[in-house]
């Protein structure tokens, strides 16, 4: 816990450097994705899938890089390996940061946890990990369809809520 807090605090206290912003310009109709995966082959595969799916992709190589990127941009999609830059999945600094976000910000980020242990689409495990969706790495070849389905379900689930909040002037 102290390591994660220290990493987040040290990133937050660093001097602003515009060169570290992930995007200077985002084309209309494009969304952004952050892929936090240590395995370079898998990271490359995921990047290709999402770039073909009309996402602008950021591939941090460490939790520090990921946290810096998230300080300057709210990603629509975050795909994170449970072991990204950690040996202990319960001590994942990026997941801890996402958990700490205000709900109105977090609600606009679709978080996918890549796991070797947990089952794909396990709703209870996703709730427990504070993510929107779990994808087991054995289902990686189907990840594009799994995520599309998960995002559609999420949009349907929150659609009425967001519409109501807009009418009340709270969004």
Q: Which residue has the tokens 């975050």?
A: 78
Per-residue DSSP letters for 96-150?
HHHHHS-HHHHTT-EEEEEESSSPTT-HHHHHHHT-SEEEEGGGGGGHHHHHHHH
pLDDT > 90: what percent of the chain? Answer: 63
Q: How far apart are the C-alpha atoms of 126 and 128, rounded to whole Å?
A: 5
Burial class of residue 53 (count of CB atoms within 10 Å of its CB; 0-12, 13-18, 19+)? middle
Q: What is the pLDDT of residue 110?
A: 97
Are the beta carbons of 92 and 86 closer than 8 angstroms? yes
In a domain, 6, yes or no: no
pLDDT higher than threshold 60 for residue 18: no
In a domain, 57, yes or no: yes
For residue 127, the enclosing domain spans 28-167
In a domain, 146, yes or no: yes
Note the pLDDT tens digit of each residue in 50-102. Answer: 999 889 999 999 999 999 989 888 899 999 999 999 999 999 999 999 999 99
In a domain, 20, yes or no: no
Total domain count, the chain: 1
In a domain, 1, yes or no: no
In a domain, 9, yes or no: no
- Element spanning 79, H or E: strand 77-81
Q: Write the DSSP symbol of residue 58.
A: E
Are the beta carbons of 33 and 58 closer than 8 angstroms? yes
Q: Tell me the average pLDDT across 37-50.
A: 95
pLDDT higher than threshold 80 for residue 135: yes
Q: What is the pLDDT of residue 44?
A: 95
In a domain, 163, yes or no: yes
Q: What are phi and psi of 102, to 5 degrees?
A: -60, 145
Q: What is the CATH number of the domain that holds 33?
A: 3.40.50.2300
């Amino acid at each position: 816990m102290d390591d994660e807090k220290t990493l987040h605090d040290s990133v937050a206290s660093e001097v602003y450097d515009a060169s570290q912003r992930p995007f200077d310009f985002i084309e209309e109709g494009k969304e952004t994705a952050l892929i936090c995966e240590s395995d370079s082959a898998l990271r490359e595969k995921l990047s290709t899938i999402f770039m073909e799916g009309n996402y602008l992709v950021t591939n941090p190589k460490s939790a520090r890089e990921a946290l810096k990127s998230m300080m300057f941009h709210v990603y629509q999609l975050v795909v994170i390996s449970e072991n990204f830059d950690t040996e202990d999945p319960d001590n994942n600094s990026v997941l801890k940061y996402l958990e700490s976000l205000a709900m109105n910000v977090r609600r606009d980020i679709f978080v996918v946890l890549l796991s070797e242990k947990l089952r794909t689409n396990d709703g209870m495990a996703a709730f427990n990990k504070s993510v929107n969706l779990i994808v087991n790495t054995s289902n990686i070849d189907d990840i594009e369809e799994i995520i599309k389905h998960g995002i559609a379900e999420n949009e349907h689930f929150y659609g009425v809520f967001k519409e109501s909040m807009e009418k009340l002037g709270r969004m």
